[in-house]
Structure 1
């Protein structure tokens, strides 16, 4: 009997260790690691081009903004290379920037199409426009992410760069999916909020399109589907 109990105990320990060292890291990896959607990956796939809704358009010039600039800069905390498009306002002296942030498994080609709306509504007379490739996307450097946590750092880093290069201090953040989550985190994470105050950066408006409304519950459900016990969450 003792031998059976010992074997049973060892088996339980091994199962717990397997969950801890295999299942949980795999689950976390699904969140933090995903394919980097480069420009080439999108533009060479007719299906992706259709999904992005960009047709033959490849830059802001194709939407009537020929004076756009392509900018290389770095992330706020870990020195990764980022890249983005800056479209100056049609009027001089505008110090507000509308930043359009893409989601996970995407890049700025997907958010670029909203320049058509900017043009149609005349928003370019009220705002400069910035469309970044956040980390692990487009022309920016490959890196891990975490449900908007690092995206938030990239967004605030973009704000810092825009102040240094273009004297921009006031922002509207328009984000999609994980870009929306990153935008929300950017104005709520204490260290990033404090940094913005110190730098004189202000977010006046948030437009959040299809973020996860309950990350904990989403993680629990997905984990349950993978056989991870609920007590982990």
Structure 2
């Protein structure tokens, strides 16, 4: 009788484990695997203020300017041999300054195009990478900024060695903001002067926990924990280790954190916590009535003034 109970118990445990592994792989496919048409918790359009005419005009001019450019294609072999692609816009004024524009989750380099004219007018060359697992870059998973921090260091080294760049600014949106924040905790060359992070999350675990609750109405335990283990096996990182908070504690660079006060995709409290944790000189701009990465679209002139003021100090 005891033997039979043990067999039944073992079978039940094996069944439950197989169910958890199945669910973990499902959520890995939804959140980490490249190419999946994942659902994201979306903000209602009403959370965003309406852009002023001046902002619309500035954006229209910026878009037209970017579309008229013919970027140079750059590549690098990442630390794990992935071939990564980027576009480079050379400033005709023979500048030794470059901004690296880092796009967000399931976006690509062209999605940062609106920022190019502004930075060009400030005298910067512009590097726009496709993050691993995105656009024309190789990779079968999304790094959420964690492995991307190594890729950014690769782009930094390329700019210094091949272009003689003397001043580098990192500017990222959403998961790209997380990438530049995570990069801030690494040992960086002296040429890296400042970091701008728009709508970054505190950690991958926190962000996926937020998404899990709003999309599926599910608690994070044990689903997120199982998925994290599967992500470690299949993509090489745990959700817990991919932390902007822990990385910015080691930051020594001037840091500008931008976050919309109506951001419900990456909640505003995350921007506040990143600011509180960050080392180095830091600024926090909370933009009223603005949702996820909408500050530039809604408050274009103010955005440019804040960034110009920040850059003037480095």
Aligned to 1:229: 221
TM-superposed deviation, 1:100? 0.7
Query: Does residue 1:215 correspond to 2:221, yes or no?
Result: no
Structure-2 change in CA distance of 1:228 and 1:16 (3 Å) = farther
Q: Which runs of 5+ in 1 are unaligned?
A: 38-52
* SS across alignment from 1:74: strand
Query: How far apart are the structure 1 equivalents of 2:10 and 2:219?
Result: 21
- The answer for the alignment partner of 1:60 in structure 2 is 66
Equivalent in 77, 85, 88 of residue 87 of structure 2: 85
* Kept after mapping to 1: 8 A contact 2:132/2:143: no
Provide the secondary structure at the position in 1 that maps to 2:202: coil
SS where residue 27 of structure 2 aligns?
helix
**Any idea what the Cα deviations from partners look like across 1:145-168, whole Å, max 9, x if unmatched?**
322112222211111111222111
Q: Corresponding residue for 1:145?
A: 142
CA distance 1:231–1:140, change in 2 (3 Å):
closer
* Pairs within 5 Å for 1:110-189: 110-118=111-119, 122-123=121-122, 125=123, 127-189=124-186
Contact 1:32/1:144, CA 8 A, preserved across alignment: yes
SS of structure 2 residue aligned to 1:113:
helix
Instruction: Choose the corresponding residue for 2:195, options 203, 206, 209.
Output: 206
Give aligned pairs, total: 199
Change (3 A) 1:232 1:129: closer
Shift of the 133–146 alpha-carbon distance from structure 1 to 2, 3 Å rule, reads: closer
Q: Does 1:103 align with 2:83?
A: no
1:9–1:152 distance in 2 versus 1, CA, 3 Å: same
Partners of 1:139 and 1:36 in 2: CA distance: 16
Question: Does the CA contact (< 8 Å) of 1:183 and 1:206 recur in 2?
Answer: yes
Q: Report 1:4-43 matches (<5 A).
A: 6-19=7-20, 21-35=21-35
Report the TM-score when normalising by structure 2.
Answer: 0.54
Task: Give the distance between the partners of 1:54 and 1:23, measured in 2 at CA.
Answer: 44
Structure 2's unaligned 5+ residue stretches are 38-58, 226-314
Change (3 A) 1:134 1:222: closer
Which string of whole-angstrom CA distances, capped at 9 and with x for unpartnered residues, describes residues 166-189 of structure 1?
Answer: 111421111011111111112214
Check the 8 A contact 1:104/1:177 in 2, yes or no: yes
Q: CA 1:227 to 1:10, structure 2 compared with 1: closer, same or farther past 3 Å? A: farther
Alpha-carbon spacing, 1:98–1:72, altered in 2? closer, same or farther (3 Å): closer
Q: Alignment RMSD, CA only? A: 3.2
Taking a change above 3 Å as real, the CA distance of residues 188 and 114 of structure 1, as seen in their structure-2 partners, is same
- Give the SS at the match of 1:114: helix
TM-score normalized by structure 1? Answer: 0.70
Q: In structure 1, what is the Cα distance between the partners aligned to 2:170 and 2:190?
A: 12
- State the alpha-carbon separation in 2 of the partners of residues 69 and 219 from structure 1: 35
